[in-house]
A and B are shown apart, each in its own frame.
Chain A
Amino acid sequence: MTAVEPERMGFFTDTSVCIGCKACEVACKEWNHVPDDHQGLTGFSYDNTVGLGANTWRHVAFIEQQRPVDVDREGMRWLMASDVCKHCTHAACLDVCPTGSLFRTEFGTVVVQEDVCNGCGYCVPACPYGVIDKREDDGRVWKCTLCYDRLRDDLEPACAKACPTESIQFGPLEEMRERAGDRLRELQTAGIDGAQLYGDDPDDGVGGQGSIFLLLDEPEVYGLPPDPVVCTRDLPAMWGRAGLASVGLLAGAALAFMRRR
C-alpha cells in the first residue's frame, strides 16, 4: 500500500449553535488525561475555566448581553463559544521552540512531543492567542493535539465527537472553510447582524487558522485577538537590528580603548 499524504485537517466551531454544555471540555479531558483545573465559580456567567491553558484544551466562554429585541422590550442574549488551539499555518509556538519538541504533523496540526519538551516556556508568550501554557507541577507545556492519536486511527477528535449540536465540526480544512462560508451566508440571510468568520483568511497574520470559528460578535468579546500576527514575521528585521547593535558594541569598545592614553 502506498502512503498517501493526508489532507490538512481542522475544526469549524459554529458558535451560533453552541449550547454551553461543556461536553467538549469533558471529552477532551477524559480522552487526553488532562488534569483538573479551576473547580470553583468565577462569577463569569457559567464559565469555570476562564481561558485555555495547560489543563484546559477546550474552553467554553459564556457572555451575557442585554440588547433590544423589540420596539418596547429589551432582551438577553447568551453567547457561548468553545475555544481551542488555532493550529496556525504560521505557528509562533512551533517557530520559537528551541528543542524541536513542537512539530507539524502530517495532518497540518501543531503538536508538542512531551518526551522532548524541556519546559523552557518560550512558546507561552509567543502564542498570540494565549493557548499553550506550562503545567507547573510537571514543568512541560501542554495544549490541544487535535487528538493526533485519534486522527491516526481515522477517528474524529474527542470534542467534535462529543458535541451534541455539531457546533464543533471536524474535517479537511478546505471543507470546513466552505461549510463556514455557507453557514455565515445562512445567518446573514436570516438577519443575524454581527455574525462573522474568525481565522478563515489564509492571508491573515498567522496565514490562516487550522481551527476556524463563526462568531456572533467581535472577537474581543470572546477574549480573542482581532488581528493576531505571528511574532516571527518580524524576526529577520530583529536579527538585523541585533547584528547592528553587536557591531556597534565592538566598534565602540575598539574606539574607546585604541585612542591614545
Chain B
Amino acid sequence: MNTDAIKELLYKMGDDAFILGHRNSEWTGIAPTLEEDISFSSVAQDQIGHALAVYTILHETLGEPTPDFIGFTRNESDFRCSHLVELPNGEYDFSLIRHFLFDHAEMLRYRALTQSTYTPLAQLAGKIIGELKYHILHANTWVRQLGNATEEAKARLQSSLNELMPYALGMFEPGPNEQALIEDGVFIGEEALKAQWLQSIEAVIRQTQLKLPDITTLTPVYGGRYGYHTEYLQPLLYEMTEVFRIDESAEW
C-alpha cells in the first residue's frame, strides 16, 4: 500500500476535525441557549476526539510524531485542513451551516472508510460512525427548524449557505496521491464523496424554504490540502498552542 497516500488522507482528515473542533469550541459558554451550548460543545469535543484518533493512527502505525506533537508543533504550511474549517465564527447561523455542511461530508467519508482496505482506518470508522450520526441529526434538526421559521431566520441561513458553499466544495479538493488511494481501495476518492454529499445535503435543504446554490456557478476554494491557508489559521494555531509552547508536559 502507498504509505504517502495514506498519510496524506489521514493528515487532512485529522486537521479538518482538529481545527473545526477548536472553532466550534469557541461557542462554549456563549451559544444561544444552555441546551444548545451543551450539545454544540459536545460535538466540538467529539471532533477533537476524532482528530486524536486519526493522529494516533499516524503515530502508532505510520511512524509519525505523537498526537500532541502533530497537533501543536507543526507550522501552518504543514497543515492540510480545508479553508472551510479555518474561517472564524460569525454569528450562530454561520457556525450551524458550517457544521451542517462539514458533518454530512464527515459522516459519508467515515461510512465509506468502513470498507477501507487500510484496516486501522476501517476499524476507527466503525467506532465513530454513531457519533457522526448524532452530529448530522443535530445539524439537520436545526436547519429544518430555522429553514422553515421567520424571514430573519431564513435570510440568515440562506446568507451563510451562499457564503460557505464555495468553501464547502473546497473540502473535496483532491490531494496529490488521490489516484493511489482509490486504486488501493483505501478510499473512494473526493469526487465520489462530493457526489454523495450533494445528495445528502440536498435531501435536507429540500425540506426547508432555503435554496441550495447552483454549484456549477461556484468556484471551489482550494489550497488547504496543499498547505496554503487563509489568514485566519495562523492566529488560531497561535492561540491553540499557547499552553503547549509554555510547557510541553502540561496536563489540564
Are A and B interaction partners? no
- Which residues from chain B sit less than 8 Å from chain A, CB to CB? none
